[in-house]
Copies of this chain bind each other. A is one copy, B any other.
Amino acid sequence: MIETAHPGANAAPSKSEAARATLARLLDAAVHVIRSKGYSAARVEDICAEAGLTKGAFFHHFASKEACAIAAAAHFAANADAVFDAAPYAGFADPRARVLGYVDFRKAILRGDLPQFTCLLGTMVQEAYDSHPAIRAACDRYIGEHAARVEADLAAAKAIYAPDATWNPSSAARFSQAVLQGAFILAKARHGPEAGAECLDHLRRYFEILLPEGATGTGRNP
């Protein structure tokens, strides 16, 4: 390798790249530890151990565990956005197919260990809703933003398949998030994904009924 006047440019990550990598490791670790045992039980030491980093590194990036949790919520939501953007259903032309494809995709990723498929946001807000208002606000924001993605497809599908029906796409989208959050709780209680998966079958049936396939173009109110 040729030595250059800027030895850091190719031989090693720049300082800011290294800092970004450290931050990402801390955030990934925070997501994993909090999903494993909740916000209150997750100690800064646990997050550092999971990341393989020191408390010095932690407090270089975060003023507190709460600040880390709020950043972890944003990190979790951004990762989720990327996953759903890249999912096959996102490319379906028919919005009804996207709605049902979303539910199918959520069911398909409901597997593996519980900390891998459960929701950081629901886990944190469950216990911290009153004691940590900034965590509550972050969870509310990102749950709401994800629901808005589902709402867009529900609204487009309703315009085609159930234009005169009285149900509200925004409310139905929030309902889908409640079903998912509840599915995670039942999966945790049973300590396996199956109890959650069957809930998504019911959600799919409900959306199939709200968006009757045969009604295309008829304007019929189901």
Contacts and interface: CB of A to CB of B under 8 A. Distances in A.
Interface of A: 36-41, 114-115, 121-123, 125-131, 136, 139-140, 143-144, 167, 171-172, 174-175, 177-183, 185-186, 188-191, 195-196, 198-199, 201-202, 205-206, 209
Contacts of A189: 121, 125, 129, 136, 139-140, 143-144
Given A41-B40, A179-B178, A190-B140, A126 B202 contact: no
B136 A188 contact: yes
Q: Which 3 A-B pairs have the closest CB atoms?
A: A38-B127, A178-B182, A182-B182
A185 B126 contact: yes
Q: State the number of copies, please.
A: 2
Nearest to A147: B186
Contact of A182 (B167, B181, B202, B205): B181
B198 A175 contact: yes
A5 to B, nearest CB: 52
A186 B174 contact: yes
15 contacts: A41-B127, A114-B129, A125-B188, A126-B185, A127-B127, A129-B188, A130-B191, A140-B190, A167-B205, A171-B201, A172-B202, A174-B186, A174-B199, A175-B179, A178-B186
Contacts of A177: 182, 186
Given A172-B202, A182-B185, 9 more contacts: A37-B127, A39-B127, A40-B127, A143-B189, A171-B201, A175-B179, A177-B182, A181-B182, A202-B206
Nearest to A171: B198
Contacts of A136: 188-189, 191
A113 to B, nearest CB: 9
A82 B151 CA distance: 39
A106 to B, nearest CB: 13
Contact of A183 (B140, B171, B172, B178): B178
